[in-house]
Amino acid sequence: MLKFLNQCSRGRGAWLLLALTAFALEMVALWFQHVMLLKPCVLCIYERCALFGVMGAGLVGAIAPKSPLRYGAIAIWLYSAGKGLQLAWEHTMIQLHPSPFQTCDFAASFPSWLPLDKWLPQVFVASGDCSVRQWEFLTLEMPQWLVGIFAAFLVVALLVLIAQPFKPKKRDLFGR
């Protein structure tokens, strides 16, 4: 399996699939916001940023998958998936155990050199409360689904990182 993951990480297809998966999740989030009229909270916005990080990792990896740039893409992937998992877990705990002492901010705080909420307010402006449960599917709330999604991203990223020293076998014409 590790040789297979190493081989996949050296091709554009797997990296583009990673980017496409994150992009699809971003589109679902925007559909929830603009079609179903669910209000994203600050943690939702930060979770979106983590998904954009995973998507960016896929695009960076697809640029030159056989070069050392692949390791940069894996690092971005690991960081974004780990941060997304942390944010989704925090969001889940706020929803499952609401407390007046543990709340989220009113607005997302982005660095002055990257004011995403000013550049794309349709995507990055929070208008909801983190403790409000707005959507459920198979008895799980949206942050609970994101815990599973980010955990899967993180596990696969770790396996791909572990697989890097395992070089795939070169095969000749007769498969030896």
Using left for φ > 0, alpha for ψ between -120 and 50, and beta otherwise, residue 64 falls in beta
Which are the contacts of 108, defined by CB distance < 8 A and separation ≥ 6? 42, 45, 46, 116, 117, 124, 125, 126
What span, in angstroms and rounded, lies between the C-alpha atoms of 110 and 124? Answer: 10
Structure tokens at 139: 């008895």
Q: Which residues are marked as active site?
A: 41, 44, 48, 104, 130
Angle in degrees, 0-180, between the axes of helices 42-63 and 69-96, rounded to the nearest 10: 160
Question: Alpha-carbon dihedral of residues 148, 153, 156, 158, nearest 10 degrees?
Answer: -110
